[in-house]
Amino acid sequence: MTHPPLGDMLATLRETTPLVHCMTNYVAMNSTANLLLAIGASPAMLHAPEEVAEFTVIAGALSINIGTISSSWAASMALAARAANEAGTPWVLDPVAVGATAFRQQVCTELLAHQPTVIRANASEVMALTGLTSQGRGVDATTTTEDAAQAAIGLAQQQRCIVAMTGETDFITDGTHHYRLTGGHSMMPRVTTLGCGLSALVAGFVAANREDPLTATLAALACFSIAGSRAGQQASGPGSFQVALLDALYSLTPDDLSSLSQLEALHAV
Amino acid sequence: MTHPPLGDMLATLRETTPLVHCMTNYVAMNSTANLLLAIGASPAMLHAPEEVAEFTVIAGALSINIGTISSSWAASMALAARAANEAGTPWVLDPVAVGATAFRQQVCTELLAHQPTVIRANASEVMALTGLTSQGRGVDATTTTEDAAQAAIGLAQQQRCIVAMTGETDFITDGTHHYRLTGGHSMMPRVTTLGCGLSALVAGFVAANREDPLTATLAALACFSIAGSRAGQQASGPGSFQVALLDALYSLTPDDLSSLSQLEALHAV
Amino acid sequence: MTHPPLGDMLATLRETTPLVHCMTNYVAMNSTANLLLAIGASPAMLHAPEEVAEFTVIAGALSINIGTISSSWAASMALAARAANEAGTPWVLDPVAVGATAFRQQVCTELLAHQPTVIRANASEVMALTGLTSQGRGVDATTTTEDAAQAAIGLAQQQRCIVAMTGETDFITDGTHHYRLTGGHSMMPRVTTLGCGLSALVAGFVAANREDPLTATLAALACFSIAGSRAGQQASGPGSFQVALLDALYSLTPDDLSSLSQLEALHAV
């Protein structure tokens, strides 16, 4: 199988600086904006019901993350997701800790009806979404990526979307084509909201490359894989890791992505 | 024309550590607090309608930024702005992306009635405030500073306030006296909420120097210009830039401001 | 008096990665999550009334900070504190700027009824809680630690909890046993929300060491003392200080805590 043109995806993002409408949790807002700016996209955070639908239509993509959800934010997210779906604006769902409480499951059920383009989640969140038994106890993944691959494929088929399940090994599927991606660094789980930011990065890549959301998703994850590895080589702890990660994303080139060796297309799972 | 005494403004701020009441967006809160602390001011973030008016009166200045506005926050901001105006507490308005949605225009119209001391905005926001056609599509400026200078002067005259319009080149006016300021660094737009933080910095300088808000505003912008240039020389990306900017603001001296060469008083625009 | 086993407290935290439910202010959320991850705990931020009580029971501890309080958050915090108290889940109260407004005093009065395990506050906040005259004008301490020691002891006895009063010198008491801790660095007050993050760190240590919350509290403060000193030696300003602090917390070992010399058990105050 030919290597997907990941470098082209980054080149297009840099040329078009897509506007990404982020409705994310309070913890992740600042770091998400900085991750988007570092790679070359343009973030906008807004959530008022008076304006979200108006704004979603002019954005290149919408990224929804339920980390610090409340009923009023959930209502705004549903408005925005509906508007995105109707306008053909791609959108990404990050169902943080969906297995942890009944409220989160209810919010995600409502959001899934608006047909996300991509679901970016960890393994326990994917399993919670598919209704399988999950040991999710918050934002941490306690299920291995391998165990959940079948759940991810089922979810992608059922929702007719891309599922990007991330962890030590990432598994990406549109229900038909499956990829495995390694890389990154063991210090990544010691920095908060990197997964949340990655979801917004996926939205940025999909905004810039609407004709090929699967390759765009792979490119976003590849950026994190490479930049994470490089940052880990320089960092002496999670503080310096964060700094180095932003610098590494900023310095990343399309050639870096094109020569990535950690991506593997799978013929069967 | 004599160079305005920018160094004195910083010296006064350091001596008095003014308390700045910030009602800002979720993305900017942490970075704004750190920018204020780095320069020597004291931030306080609170927004409940039960307490904003009580607190605004004991603060040295109020800084309002509508980035992640909602109707409940807009109501609290109006309460605080009214209290500030009545008590003679100076206040700064940052009308983030006011051109992007009807809701933002409505919120700003209400806030402008409470007579801000300074409006800190980018060129497209200034043009949106003056009712001129704007191409604003979010938080990024798509109008050049030069094009918008006349709009800034008109806004300052109409609102009887100072307008600090920032971008690659800054333009500052109270409607009668006009200044142009260069400096900074090309990496600044790649770090989120620096403009939001600058608005709060203006509030800090105005709080410490109430008798001369125009010079105080120039001093705040000059700090960003110098510290931004220095940070850019050290940084290898937006992550290390942020760190270096805080360190540079912390290390800035009144003499650094007094010897600034990038500030130009304009006799006509 | 034998040195309390602070190193054991850290070792237990690292082994058990306790889940800390944080209901904290918007400014502190990201930095608090990163401080918890750096030391080895697992943060979760959520606040919806639909889920807080359900979540508090599965968390190892709850940390409540009223920095950017509103009436809806106050209601959720009361729900969570009540659930924690009923389930025997330890919880920490950080009464930010309680002396500044009537609203904050009312919120804290309600929260105190749910019997916090630890109150982490600065001296002016402790004095405001005990009803003594306070000069609190926001988040900064304007009362010296020494002056407030008697107030802290009285508060600990009255509330039957631990009071960790932090400042240049920390004073820790359960009403019977008193400790004084020095260390840290003069740059710490120049970085926002470190005190807020420390409250959550206390919650993490108490979660991992429920049988001895006083020693757990001392261990959390000792981590900040040592890591702060080390970060200060490397930093050239508050930007690099923040980065170095996270790295230092990550690198801290149980032996570092066990050999701490800045902790003093007091026989009388």
The chains found to touch A (3+ Cβ pairs under 8 angstroms) are B, C
Neighbour-count burial of C61, counting CB atoms closer than 10 A to its CB (0-12 exposed, 13-18 middle, 19+ buried):
buried
Nearest Cα to Cα of residue C240 among B69, B240, A115: B240
Question: What pLDDT shows up at residue C145?
Answer: 59
The answer to which of A57-66, B81-90, B144-153 has the lowest mean pLDDT is B144-153
Q: CB–CB of A17/A41 below 8 Å?
A: yes
pLDDT in tens, B203-234: 999 999 999 999 999 999 999 999 999 999 99
Residue A140 has pLDDT above 80, yes or no: no
Q: How far apart are CA C242 and CA C40, in angstroms?
A: 17
Arithmetic mean of pLDDT over chain B:
93
Would A266 be classed as within a structural domain? no
Whether residue B137 has pLDDT greater than 60: no
Neighbors of chain B with 3 or more C-beta pairs under 8 Å? A, C
pLDDT at C112 over 70: yes
Per the domain annotation, does C224 fall within a domain?
Answer: yes
Q: Which C residues, 51 through 70, put their C-beta within 8 Å of a C-beta on chain A? A: 51, 54-55, 58-59
CA distance B146 to B144: 5
Q: If you measure CA to CA, which chain C residue comes closest to B252?
A: C237
- Residue C187, pLDDT above cutoff 50: yes
Using a pLDDT cut of 90, give the percent of chain C over it: 87
What count of CB pairs under 8 Å joins A to B? 97
β-pair partners for A172: A164, A179
Chain C: residue nearest B250 by CA?
C237
* CATH number of the domain that residue C24 is part of: 3.40.1190.20
Domain that holds residue C53: 10-254
Minimal CA separation from C244 to chain B, in Å: 11
C189 at the B interface (CB within 8 A)?
yes
Q: Is B45 annotated as a binding residue?
A: yes
Q: Answer yes or no: is B112 within a domain.
A: yes
pLDDT at residue number B146: 64
- A27, A138, A189 member nearest C19 (Cβ): A138
Identify which of C17, C56, C64 has the alpha carbon closest to the alpha carbon of residue C204.
Answer: C17
The per-residue b/e assignment along C117-146, b for 16 or more CB within 10 angstroms, e otherwise, is bbbbbbbbbbbbbbebebebbbbbbebebe
SS3 B173: strand
Torsion of Cα atoms, C67 then C71 then C75 then C80, to 10°: -20
- Residues 19-38 on C with a CB inside 8 Å of B are 25-28, 30-31
CA distances from A217 to A59, A162, A203, B152 (A): 18, 8, 8, 42
Q: How far is C244 from chain A (nearest CA, A)?
A: 6
pLDDT tens, residue by residue, C209-248: 999 999 999 999 999 999 999 999 999 999 999 999 999 9
Is 60 exceeded by the pLDDT of residue A229?
yes
What gap in Å lies between CA C120 and CA C138, rounded to an integer?
A: 16
Instruction: Say yes or no: B117 contacts chain A, CB-CB below 8 A.
Output: no
Mind listing the pLDDT tens digit for each residue in A117-136?
999 999 999 999 998 444 44
**Residue B266, domain member (yes or no):** no
- Number of helical H runs and strand E runs in chain C: 11, 9
Identify the pLDDT of residue A119: 98
Percentage of chain C exceeding pLDDT 70: 93
Please give the Cα distance from A109 to A121 (Å, whole number): 15
Q: C133: pLDDT confidence band, cut at 50, 70 and 90?
A: very low
Residue B133 is predicted with a pLDDT of 40
Chains meeting C at 3+ CB pairs closer than 8 A?
Answer: A, B
Q: Say if residue A36 is exposed, middle or buried (CB neighbours under 10 Å; 0-12, 13-18, 19+).
A: buried
Note whether residue B109 is domain-resident.
yes
Number of structural domains in chain B: 1
A243 touches chain B (CB under 8 A): yes
pLDDT of residue A131: 80
Instruction: Tell me how far apart the alpha carbons of residues A86 and A76 are, in angstroms, rounded to a whole number.
Output: 15
The per-residue DSSP string of chain A comes to -PPP-HHHHHHHHHHH--EEEEE--TTTHHHHHHHHHHHT-EEEE---TTTHHHHHHHSSEEEEE-TT--HHHHHHHHHHHHHHHHHT--EEEE-TTTTT-HHHHHHHHHHHTT--SEEEE-HHHHHHHTT------SSS--S-HHHHHHHHHHHHHHHTSEEEE-SSSEEEESSS-EEEE----TTGGGSTTHHHHHHHHHHHHHHHTTT-HHHHHHHHHHHHHHHHHHHHHH-SSHHHHHHHHHHHHHH--HHHHHT--SEEEES--
Assigned token pair, A124? 């326990």
- Cα separation, B159 vs B11, in Å, equals 29
Asked whether the beta carbons of residue C239 and residue B247 sit closer than 8 angstroms, the reply is: yes
Q: Could you identify the residue written with the tokens 């990050």?
A: A94
Interface test with A, best of B24, B25, B26 (most A CBs within 10 A): B26
Chain C interface disruption, residue of A25, A26, A31, most C CBs within 10 A: A26
Measured distance CA(A157)–CA(A169) in Å, rounded: 21
Given an 8 Å threshold on Cβ–Cβ distance, is A37 in contact with B189?
yes
Cβ <8 Å between C43 and A67: no
CA atoms of A198 and A190, how far apart (whole Å): 15
For B35-80, write each residue's pLDDT tens digit: 999 999 999 999 999 999 999 989 999 999 999 999 999 999 999 9
Lowest mean pLDDT among A64-73, A158-167, B135-144, C212-221: B135-144
- CB-based contact A19 B138, cutoff 8 Å: yes
Chain C residues in contact with B51 by the CB 8 A cut-off are 100-104
Report helix, strand or coil for C67.
coil
Judge whether C3 lies within some domain.
no
The C-alpha atoms of residue B220 and residue B227 are separated, in whole angstroms, by: 11
Paired tokens of C197: 């993050």
Q: Tally the C-alpha atoms within 13 A of residue A196's C-alpha that lie toward its C-beta.
A: 26
Q: In this complex, which of B69, B103, B239 lies closest to A246 when CB atoms are compared?
A: B239
Query: Any chain C CB within 8 A of the CB of B250?
Result: yes
Q: Report the C-alpha gap between C242 and C253 in whole angstroms.
A: 19
pLDDT at B148: 85
pLDDT at A224: 97
Return d(Cα A119, Cα A199) in angstroms, integer: 8
Return the pLDDT at A191: 98
B44 contacts C190? CB cut-off 8 A: no
Is residue C139 domain-resident? Answer: yes
Measured between alpha carbons, how far is residue A87 from residues A12, A56, A61, A158, B150 in Å? 22, 9, 11, 22, 37
Query: Is residue B249, in this structure, part of any structural domain at all?
Result: yes
Q: What is the mean pLDDT of residues A173-179?
A: 96
Task: Provide the pLDDT confidence category of residue C142 given band limits of 50, 70 and 90.
Answer: low
Q: Which residues of A touch B243 (CB under 8 A)?
A: 243
Q: Would the annotation count C23 as a binding residue?
A: no
ipTM associated with this complex: 0.94
Q: What's the pLDDT at B199?
A: 98
Q: Enumerate the residues of chain A whose CB falls inside 8 A of the CB of residue C245.
A: 239
Residue numbers in B near A29 (CB within 8 A) = 26-27, 68
Chain C partners within 8 Å of A235 (Cβ) = 247
From C102's Cα to the closest Cα of chain B, the distance in A is 8
End-to-end CA distance of chain A: 16
Instruction: Provide the pLDDT for residue B259.
Output: 83
pLDDT exceeds 60 at position B108: yes
With residues binned 3-state (H G I as helix, E B as strand, rest as coil), the percentages for chain C, rounded to 5, are 50, 15, 35
Inter-chain contacts counted by CB atoms under 8 A, chains B and C: 97
